[in-house]
């Protein structure tokens, strides 16, 4: 195969209010494994979308061989031999492996398809890749690892020259990871350029030739993996310093004599043996990579997901929480991760959103007392300074920050003493973020207890006096006071250990 | 820009404009349509659709749909006639038993959906056939005649000599629907579940209970409509109601209720019911046969859903 080069020059991309890629320039050397590393939101996925044609840059150039593009379409990307393996596979579960491989480009024999030829070609292909897959098996009979192999096989059939892999090892077991690495090396030997996204630093060091660190939409540095190490990579990823946006008092430790919520031996399909306590008046951070089980912990406690085992104690009393309703009755509130899908009713009035949880308490003989409802709504619009045209306007008409305030109002109306905030500031502007931090500090000072989850490492460090770090469904350590640093969190989140860190009890 | 304006006007006054235009067209085309007597006839004719539409609106607002209400109409009329005529039960007792049975079948629809995840369309399609079968079994496929005058009154009686009693029942049903949807917390739950079931569940709403209420209400109101229809026909007829779900669903969608749930007002549905009623009556008055009526009603349903989808996409 002829050697091909791929580079991007001065790529910029803006989303509403966010500069997602800032002047990104990168060159991928033919036949290399090039890793992209960075926190969530650093811009890796956005960059890959530009390459696969899923999204167009607002300015800048993509150069392939000697051809210049100011943006690719999915078809153009395909024609140039750029393939992408997504985390969710694009396979038809009810069809066989070979049918999936040849979907839309079946080998024909007259009007019929030539099954035998396709099966034979599939076998050849897998032999070339050095893996064993039975082409006549159905996709839904295969494990995740095999589905991934089929996806890679599909790319190979399309004569891919550049293969983008987004966290390919996330769902794999250790053995399967080793097999995948073999395959990646094989592809590399066939001169395929691999663009590899992963959070697992050890993996990158083992597999990649070069690694590019991204942060806040910028390329920070490209290093040869042979000449770097874990510590340096973490330092480069973190980079940013704490600014003044966090209220100083928010990191006041809670009253360690008074646990308000205790969780013991919590197990679910995704979580293993989680035990920890939340103390009165503290802001406790739950950190970890996406998919490590952070959200699952609070969802399981809140009764939103099924628990296999686990005891929950609220204010010293063992409680049974099987539904969100039970949790609300125990004085727990949960501001969910996905504001639009889980938090809000976008097509209902702002007013109805705010009063939703308390609405039955505001009713007599089923009938809602409008004055009481109005008073509740006005109180929160004022307390959280929600900027709106009218409380009767749809929630969808609000900005992200104000939408989040509506969700917060809804939950604060329950007077809950225990609050779970999952990504409370995702996608909202700086001003609203600051207001939410200040609100959290007020709640803490009132003696309420908060668990906060954030993909922004800096936010966790700025808000929390104590942080539990998750890794692959387990608690991998607890950090307190001065130990709460971005470096330490990343170390624990990516599976490392710290000498002086004890597991939360 | 201009298109935006048109869709805003349609959203606000669409049903009203359609009704007025429709009435004007039929007034031009048919002399008989213009009589006061015919106005009252329309009032009587729309009542059963209207009453069933109230319950069906609850269900559609949660995102569900009920196509078993046609057979429910037949089943309830037949059962009440059977209980009161053949078994000689007093009317109130016969009615209560009938309505409880109707409610029960609606709750079975609800269980099929909430517990066994059968989609509302399929669950009520099955129930449509089951109830039709039961209605025929109960009567050996023959109408039950000889119902009491009081029974007939609820379907064909006039108050003060001119105001159709069924129309009064329908007004009461809509008033009830308005109260539930606009003034009770149950109504809020219905909108919340239909708009975003996951957000509703996480807000502590027992979504299954809301679905059960909605399926139950749809069946119960269809059952009431069935009693009225039997009264109007003066008999329990097992074969009626085949076009009924179509009329009810079209009326609701015309009234601006989203077929996906979560939005729409009961006041709009009232207009939708009259649009359908005037259409049925007017088409007969101008001499269109059943076959043409079916074609036209089908087109109206398609157009109504298409219009509401166009609006949604614009937002």
**HEC letters along B245-312:** HHHHHHHHHHCCCCCCCCCCCHHHHHHHHHHHHHHHHHHHHCCCCHHHHHHHHHHHHHHHHHHHHHHH
> Which residue, among B282, B298, B295, B226, has the nearest Cα to B39 in the 3D structure?
B282
Q: Which of A36, A15, A33, A26 is nearest to A166 (CA)?
A: A36
HEC states along chain B? CHHHHHHHHHHHHHHHHHHHHHHHHHHHHCCHHHCHHHHHHHHHHHHHHHHHHHHHHHHHHCCCCCCCHHHHHHHHHHHHHHHHHHCCCCHHHHHHHHHHHHHHHHHHHHHHHHCCCCCHHHHHHHHHHHHHHHHHHHHCCCCECCCCHHHHHHHHCEECCCEEHHHHHHHHHHHHHHHHHHHEHHHHHHHHHHHCHHHHHHCCCCHHHHHHHHHHHHHHHHHHHHHHHHHHHCCECCCCCCCHHHHHHHHHHHCCCCCCCCCCCHHHHHHHHHHHHHHHHHHHHCCCCHHHHHHHHHHHHHHHHHHHHHHHHHC
Q: Alpha carbon of A242 to those of A238, A248, A425, A488, B243: distances in Å?
A: 11, 11, 16, 15, 68
- DSSP string of A240-269? ----TTS-GGGG---EEEEEEEEEEEEE-S
**What span, in angstroms and rounded, lies between the C-alpha atoms of B207 and B191?**
11
Which residue in chain A is spatially nearest to B263 when comparing CA positions?
Answer: A347
Q: What is the pLDDT of residue A4?
A: 61
- Nearest Cα of chain B lies from the Cα of A363 at a distance, in angstroms, of 7
DSSP A204-227: HHHH-SEEEEEETTEEEEEEEGGG
Contacts of B195 in chain A (CB under 8 A): 345-348
**SS3 sequence of A285-309:** EEECCCCCCHHHHHHHHHCCCCCCE
User: Which positions in chain B touch A377 (Cβ < 8 Å)?
Assistant: none
Residues of A in contact with B186 (CB under 8 A): 366
Q: Which residues of A touch B180 (CB under 8 A)?
A: 366
Å between B209 CA and nearest CA of chain A: 13
Longest CA span, chain B: 66
Q: What pLDDT shows up at residue A240?
A: 63
The pLDDT value given to residue B162: 82
Q: For the packed helices B36-61 and B207-233, what is the interaxial angle rounded to 10 degrees?
A: 160
What sign for the dihedral angle of Cα B65, B68, B74, B75?
Answer: negative
- Give, as one character, the DSSP assignment of residue A482: G
pLDDT tens-place string over residues A206-216: 899 999 999 88
Token pair belonging to B45: 């004719």
pLDDT of residue A457: 83
Taking the Cβ of residue B199 and every Cβ of chain A, the question of whether any pair is shorter than 8 Å is answered with: yes
pLDDT at A16 (0 to 100): 63
A396: closest chain B residue by CA: B315
Q: Which residues contact A424 (CB under 8 A, 6 or more apart)?
A: A335, A404, A408, A436, A440, A452, A454
The distance from CA A494 to its chain's CA centroid, rounded to whole angstroms, is 14
Q: What is the pLDDT of residue A500?
A: 59
Read off the pTM: 0.82
Q: Do B200 and A345 touch (CB under 8 A)?
A: yes
Residue B46 and residue B167: Cα distance in Å, rounded? Answer: 8
A401 vs A389: CA distance, rounded Å: 15
Res. B5 pLDDT band, cuts 50 70 90: low
- Cα radius of gyration rounded to whole Å, chain B: 19
pLDDT reading at B102 higher than 80: yes
Of all residues in chain A, the one with the smallest CA distance to B189 is: A356
Q: pLDDT band at B149, cuts 50/70/90? A: very high
Nearest Cβ partner for A367 among B184, B204, B263: B184
Rounded Cα distance between A109 and B18, Å, is 56
Among B183, B187, B202, B213, pick the best mutation site for testing chain A contact (most A Cβ within 10 A): B202
The predicted pLDDT at position B315 comes to: 45
Classified as helix, coil or strand, A486 is: helix
Q: Which two tokens stand for residue B195?
A: 């708009």
B262 near A CB under 8 A: yes
Picking from A322, A331, A366, A407 by the largest number of B CB atoms within 10 A of its own CB, the best residue to mutate is A366
Closest CA to A250 of A466, A416, A469, A407: A466
Residue A76 buriedness (CB in 10 A; 0-12 / 13-18 / 19+): middle
Tell me the DSSP string of A123-175: HHHHHHHT----TTSBGGGS-HHHHHHHHHHHHHHTT-SEEEEESTTTT--HH
Mark the ranges of chain A whose per-residue pLDDT is less than 70. Answer: 1-4, 16-17, 239-243, 499-505
Distance CA B105, CA B99 (A): 10
Interface test with B, best of A351, A360, A371, A374 (most B CBs within 10 A): A360
Q: In the prediction, which pLDDT does A132 show?
A: 84
In this prediction, residue B313 carries a pLDDT of 54
Count of CB atoms situated within 10 Å of the CB of B291: 8
Cβ pair B275, B254 in contact under 8 A = yes
For residues A504 and A476, give the distance between their C-alpha atoms in angstroms, rounded to a whole number.
9
Q: CA of A332 to nearest chain B CA: how many angstroms apart?
A: 11
More confident residue, B255 or A501: B255
CA dist A105 and A118 (Å) reads 10
Q: So what's the pLDDT on residue A15? A: 77
Percent of chain B's residues with pLDDT above 90: 81
Q: B84 versus B163: which is more confidently predicted?
A: B84
Higher local confidence (pLDDT), B124 or B6: B124
């Amino acid at each position: 195969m002829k050697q091909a080069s791929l580079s991007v020059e001065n790529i910029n991309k803006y989303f509403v209010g966010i500069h997602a890629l800032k002047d990104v320039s990168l060159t991928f050397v033919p036949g290399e494994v090039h890793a992209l590393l960075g926190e969530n939101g650093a811009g890796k996925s956005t960059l890959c979308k530009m390459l696969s044609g899923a999204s167009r840059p607002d300015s800048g150039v993509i150069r392939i061989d000697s051809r210049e593009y100011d943006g690719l379409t999915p078809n153009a990307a395909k024609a140039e031999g750029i393939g992408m393996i997504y985390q969710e596979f694009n396979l038809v579960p009810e069809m066989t492996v070979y049918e999936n491989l040849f979907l839309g480009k079946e080998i024909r024999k007259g009007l019929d398809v030539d099954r035998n030829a396709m099966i034979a070609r599939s076998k050849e292909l897998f032999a070339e890749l050095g893996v064993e897959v039975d082409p006549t098996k159905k996709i839904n009979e295969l494990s995740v690892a095999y589905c991934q192999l089929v996806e890679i096989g599909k790319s190979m059939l399309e004569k891919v020259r550049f293969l983008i892999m987004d966290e390919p090892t996330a769902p794999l077991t250790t053995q399967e990871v080793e097999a995948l690495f073999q395959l990646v090396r094989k592809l590399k030997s066939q001169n395929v350029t691999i663009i590899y996204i992963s959070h697992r630093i050890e993996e990158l060091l083992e597999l990649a030739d070069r690694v590019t660190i991204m942060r806040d939409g910028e390329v920070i540095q490209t290093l040869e993996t042979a000449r770097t190490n874990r510590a340096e990579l973490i330092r480069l990823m973190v980079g940013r310093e704490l600014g003044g946006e966090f209220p100083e008092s928010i990191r006041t430790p809670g009253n360690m004599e008074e646990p308000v919520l205790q969780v013991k031996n919590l197990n679910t399909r995704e979580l293993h043996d989680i035990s920890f306590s939340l103390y009165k008046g503290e802001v406790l951070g739950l950190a970890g990579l996406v998919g490590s089980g952070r959200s699952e912990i609070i969802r399981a406690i809140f009764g939103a997901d099924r628990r296999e085992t686990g005891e929950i104690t609220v204010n010293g009393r063992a409680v049974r929480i099987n539904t969100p309703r039970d949790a609300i009755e125990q004085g727990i509130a949960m501001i969910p991760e996905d504001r639009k899908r889980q938090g809000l009713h976008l097509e209902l009035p702002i007013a109805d959103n705010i009063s939703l949880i308390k609405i039955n308490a505001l009713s007599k003989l089923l009938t809602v007392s409008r004055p009481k409802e109005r008073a509740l709504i006005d109180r929160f619009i004022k307390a959280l300074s929600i900027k709106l045209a009218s409380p009767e306007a749809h929630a969808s008409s609000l900005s992200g920050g104000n939408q989040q305030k509506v969700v917060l109002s809804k939950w604060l109306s329950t007077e809950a003493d225990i609050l779970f905030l999952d990504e409370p500031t995702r996608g909202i502007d700086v001003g609203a973020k600051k207001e939410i931090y200040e609100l959290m500090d007020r709640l803490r000072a009132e003696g309420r207890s908060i668990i906060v989850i954030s993909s922004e490492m800096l936010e966790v460090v700025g808000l929390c006096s104590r942080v539990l770090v998750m890794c692959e469904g387990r608690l991998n350590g607890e950090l307190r006071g001065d130990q709460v640093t971005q470096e330490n969190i990343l170390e624990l989140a990516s599976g490392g250990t710290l000498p002086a860190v004890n597991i939360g009890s | 820009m201009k298109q935006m304006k048109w869709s805003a006007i349609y959203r606000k006054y669409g049903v009203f404009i359609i009704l007025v235009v429709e009435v004007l067209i039929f007034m031009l085309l048919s002399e008989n349509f213009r009589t006061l007597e015919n106005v009252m006839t329309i009032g009587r004719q729309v009542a059963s659709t209207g009453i069933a539409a109230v319950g069906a609106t609850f269900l559609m607002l949660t995102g569900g749909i009920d196509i078993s209400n046609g057979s429910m109409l037949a089943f309830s009329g037949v059962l009440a006639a059977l209980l009161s005529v053949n078994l000689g039960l007093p009317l109130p007792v016969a009615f209560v038993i009938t309505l409880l049975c109707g409610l029960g079948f609606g709750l079975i629809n609800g269980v099929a959906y909430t517990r066994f995840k059968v989609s509302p369309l399929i669950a009520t399609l099955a129930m449509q056939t089951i109830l039709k079968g039961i209605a025929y079994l109960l009567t050996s496929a023959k109408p039950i005649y000889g119902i009491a005058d009081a029974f007939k009154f609820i379907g064909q009686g006039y108050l003060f000599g001119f105001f159709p009693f069924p129309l009064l029942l329908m007004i009461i049903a809509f008033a009830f629907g308005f109260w539930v949807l606009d003034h009770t917390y149950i109504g809020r739950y219905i909108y919340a579940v239909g708009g975003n079931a996951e957000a509703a569940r996480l807000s502590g709403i027992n979504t299954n209970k809301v679905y059960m209420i909605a399926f139950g209400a749809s069946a119960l109101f269809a059952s009431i409509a069935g009693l009225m229809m039997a009264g109007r026909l003066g008999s329990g007829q097992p074969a009626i109601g085949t076009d009924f779900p179509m009329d009810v669903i079209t009326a609701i969608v015309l009234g601006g209720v989203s077929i996906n749930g979560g939005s729409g007002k009961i006041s709009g549905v009232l207009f939708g019911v009259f649009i359908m009623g005037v259409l049925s009556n007017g088409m007969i008055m101008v001499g269109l046969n059943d076959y043409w009526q079916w074609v036209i009603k089908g087109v109206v349903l398609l157009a109504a859903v298409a219009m509401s989808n166009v609006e949604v996409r614009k937002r």
